[in-house]
Amino acid sequence: MFINGQWREAASNKQFTSSNPATGEVIDQIPAGGAEDAVAAIDAAHAAFPAWSGRSAYERSAILYKAYTLMVERKDELAKLMTTEQGKPLRAAANETQYAADFLLWYAEEAKRVYGETIPSARGDQRFIIFKAPVGVVAAVTPWNYPISMLTRKLAPALAAGCTVVLKPAEATPLCAIAVFKILQEAGVPDGVINLVTAEDPKPIGEVFTTDERVRKITFTGSTAVGKMLAGKAGENMKRISLELGGHAPFIVYDDADPTHAAKGASLVKFLNTGQACISPNRMFVHESGVDAFIGELTSRVERLRAGNGLEQGVGIGPLVNEAAVAKVERQVEDAKAKGARVMCGGHRLMDNGLDKGNFYAATVLADVTPDMLIYREETFGPVAAVVPFKDGDDVLAMANDTTYGLAAYVYTNNMAKAMRTVEGLDFAIIGVNDINPTSAAAPFGGMKSSGLGREGGHEGIEEYLESKTAGFSI
């Protein structure tokens, strides 16, 4: 753990293991922090706040820029660590590391653009000036599926704004978090400004984060259930909150789109990170005129994906995070089969060639998925493409919106007016139009409905860490 500029063990001296999800091998022992450590970290962040928020934006920017250059220099090393601890293939890990570095660069720039406002008053003897001020101590909780970029997406804007931070990473990926903190330390972030509390049991730390009055904001990325619980407690104590939660993305292929081209996109975005992405398509609505071509192309691409240890050449798909994740995928696929879905490929665990030591499930394509199936409603977070045919007269927008989630959506069409109407009609906050990667450090990322509150990235991302102060001057 990293508290007040010192690397240390947990107060209890307890540890837990970080292991490789592809092989089951133990990688390292990690301090198992608890409530006492969380309080010590908040003490440090609270004490460091006045000096850090008092530094000029240019000084904070320079440190973030240095962290960006260090992260880019160490991209290969970080990618290897991520593949070993999280499981995604090396190329995907390198791409994520670049994405993570992009947030450091973007907020190194945005730090210098925190503008206030002057507002005309109705009174001739009054002037309004709106100042921006950092919110204070931020408590951050991050997930394992993007174990480096989800940290910089929070740390970079918080630091740019002048906040200090206590971060608790996911129990499955503490080593990636440690690597990020080492970079920030080396870049010159002063003692106490960033603090890392690793833990096997997150509950006592969540309790401290939501109740300690010195914590002014909580930023969380993870499941909707935990997000709602933390938001409830944070609300009771009047803390600001940002939540990036689960998703259930629709992927709509209209009759005028090329189904083969759309299937290529679907195969790339669905199986990225073995389907363990909040923006992963969970229901592929394909017009009946193109559905056979779509499924044919998708299946042939998915059958060619080689599963294994992401460090090996030619591996296109890694393990799931743990046994519970495999069991969830299995349950959804078995339920869909029992209710009439056709398994075009996959549909089982992978046990041969040593894969039984890791958490592997075969990349799967399901045809004829219907609304009564679990997979139609529940987030899968695994390598299953569920194809739902639709026909003329079906209200595909209503079908797509028929979910409690509202994070990402995708649409394939060659008709501009239809694309525009679809974007306007979808209750989702990130929409790819003939595009499978509608994300960037420069663009806002976040969800509607049960997918969350607030936005990360873009110029909106830093606002989450700022208060507006209205000063009315009588002159």
Catalytic residue annotation: 244, 278
Binding ligand NAD (rule: CB under 6 A), the pick from 379, 396, 463, 464 is: 379
Q: Which stretch binds ligand NAD (CB under 6 A): 21-29, 138-146, 175-183, 333-341?
A: 138-146
Q: Which stretch binds ligand NAD (CB under 6 A): 43-51, 103-111, 141-149, 297-305?
A: 141-149
CB of 147 to ligand NAD, least distance (A): 10
Tell me if 144 contacts ligand NAD by CB under 6 A. Answer: yes
Nearest CB to ligand NAD, comparing residues 142 and 422 = 142
Binding ligand NAD (rule: CB under 6 A), the pick from 215, 226, 269, 462 is: 226
Tell me if 141 contacts ligand NAD by CB under 6 A. Answer: yes
Q: Which stretch binds ligand NAD (CB under 6 A): 15-23, 222-230, 261-269, 311-319?
A: 222-230
Tell me if 364 contacts ligand NAD by CB under 6 A. Answer: no
Tell me if 145 contacts ligand NAD by CB under 6 A. Answer: yes
Nearest CB to ligand NAD, comparing residues 247 and 347 = 247
> Which residue's beta carbon is nearest to the bound ligand NAD?
206
Nearest CB to ligand NAD, comparing residues 183 and 226 = 226
Binding ligand NAD (rule: CB under 6 A), the pick from 61, 84, 86, 142 is: 142
Binding ligand NAD (rule: CB under 6 A), the pick from 136, 192, 247, 347 is: 247
Binding ligand NAD (rule: CB under 6 A), the pick from 53, 69, 121, 223 is: 223
Per rule CB under 6 A, count of chain residues that contact ligand NAD: 27
CB environment 391-407: b (16+ within 10 A), e (fewer) = eeeeebbebbbebebbb
What does the alpha-carbon distance between residue 21 and residue 274 come to, in Å, rounded to a whole number? Answer: 12
CB of 420 to ligand NAD, least distance (A): 25
Tell me if 380 contacts ligand NAD by CB under 6 A. Answer: no
Nearest CB to ligand NAD, comparing residues 12 and 322 = 322
Tell me if 245 contacts ligand NAD by CB under 6 A. Answer: yes
CB of 433 to ligand NAD, least distance (A): 20
Q: CB neighbours (10 Å) of residue 262?
A: 27
Helix axes 224-236, 203-211, angle to 10 degrees: 30
Tell me if 378 contacts ligand NAD by CB under 6 A. Answer: no
Tell me if 278 contacts ligand NAD by CB under 6 A. Answer: yes
Q: CB neighbours (10 Å) of residue 370?
A: 14
Q: Which stretch binds ligand NAD (CB under 6 A): 140-148, 189-197, 426-434, 467-475?
A: 140-148
CA distances from 298 to 240, 247, 252, 292, 295 (A): 43, 22, 14, 10, 5
Q: Determine contact, residues 107/156, Cβ cutoff 8 Å.
A: yes
Binding ligand NAD (rule: CB under 6 A), the pick from 147, 162, 174, 222 is: 222
Nearest CB to ligand NAD, comparing residues 277 and 345 = 277
Q: CB neighbours (10 Å) of residue 444?
A: 17
Tell me if 185 contacts ligand NAD by CB under 6 A. Answer: no
Q: Which stretch binds ligand NAD (CB under 6 A): 135-143, 301-309, 358-366, 417-425?
A: 135-143
CB of 274 to ligand NAD, least distance (A): 13
Q: Which stretch binds ligand NAD (CB under 6 A): 139-147, 358-366, 396-404, 461-469?
A: 139-147
CB environment 62-93: b (16+ within 10 A), e (fewer) = bbbbbbbebbbebbeebbebbbbbbbbbbebb
Q: Determine contact, residues 281/432, Cβ cutoff 8 Å.
A: no
Please give the residues from 200 up to 219 whose contact with ligand NAD meets the rule CB under 6 A: 202-203, 205-206
Binding ligand NAD (rule: CB under 6 A), the pick from 45, 320, 362, 407 is: 407
Q: Which stretch binds ligand NAD (CB under 6 A): 163-171, 256-264, 310-318, 363-371?
A: 163-171
Paired tokens of 474: 């009588």
Nearest CB to ligand NAD, comparing residues 141 and 355 = 141
Nearest CB to ligand NAD, comparing residues 172 and 367 = 172
Tell me if 170 contacts ligand NAD by CB under 6 A. Answer: yes
| Residues at the contact surface with ligand NAD, assessed by CB under 6 A | 141-146, 168, 170-171, 202-203, 205-206, 221-223, 226, 244-247, 278, 379, 381, 407, 447, 452
